[in-house]
Amino acid sequence: MPRVVLVNPQIPPNTGNIARTCAATNTELHLVGPLGFELSDRYLKRAGLDYWPHVKLHYHLDLVQFQAYHQQQKGRLLGFSVRGKSCYGDCKFQEDDWLVFGSESEGLPLTFQEQCDQMLYIPMPHPKIRSLNLSVSVAVGLFEALRQLDQLH
């Protein structure tokens, strides 16, 4: 089952919405600090509704701690960025992939992007629109991965 990773998320409702999506799809959610909020934030909890007990949540203090954890696991790191090199729809997802998203304001750190097996983008046909909301981007990427892996039943 693919996993979702948020690196330095800043906006509590986005993370809450993503947690809800992860709960609904039975997907692990990895939060990599520093976070722009406390895990007890009421807006975070509100966006996740009463689904928090169903979230397979992992917290890593920073990228170094996450990278050490990832090295003990299997799977490709698939970064999502407006500057990605491949369209997410062209990616052949695998069950042990890690879908990695950066903060709302900064995206993924460039040094981390270099460590990703692939950098993906979600097409933006409108020339004046740079990106989607983080929670929407996660849903788009995750549901495509689950669709390809026939895990939406």
Q: Of 96, 103, 57, 62, whose CA–CA distance to 80 is shortest? A: 103
Predicted confidence at residue 49, as pLDDT, reads 61
C-alpha of 96 from chain center: 14
Confirm whether pTM is higher than 0.85: yes
What is the per-residue pLDDT for 59? 95
The single-letter code of the amino acid at 26 is: N
Task: Give the per-residue pLDDT at 43.
Answer: 62
Residue 84 labelled as part of a binding site: no
What is the predicted pLDDT for the residue at 118? 98
Quote the pLDDT of residue 88. Answer: 98
The reply, when asked if residue 105 is annotated as ligand binding, is no
Apex 124 CA angle, 149 and 19, nearest 5: 50
pLDDT at position 148: 98
CATH of the domain at 88: 3.40.1280.10
For the chain, the domain total comes to 1
Give the per-residue pLDDT at 131.
87
What are the structure tokens assigned to 49, written together?
A: 């509704």
What pLDDT was estimated at residue 92? 98
Q: What is the C-alpha to C-alpha distance for residues 10 and 132, in angstroms, rounded to an integer? A: 15
pLDDT at 112: 95
Residues of the chain with pLDDT under 50: none
79 is in an annotated binding site: no
- Over residues 56-87, the pLDDT tens digits come to 999 999 999 999 999 999 899 999 999 999 99
> What residue numbers bound the domain in which 59 lies?
3-149
Residue 47: what pLDDT?
Answer: 58
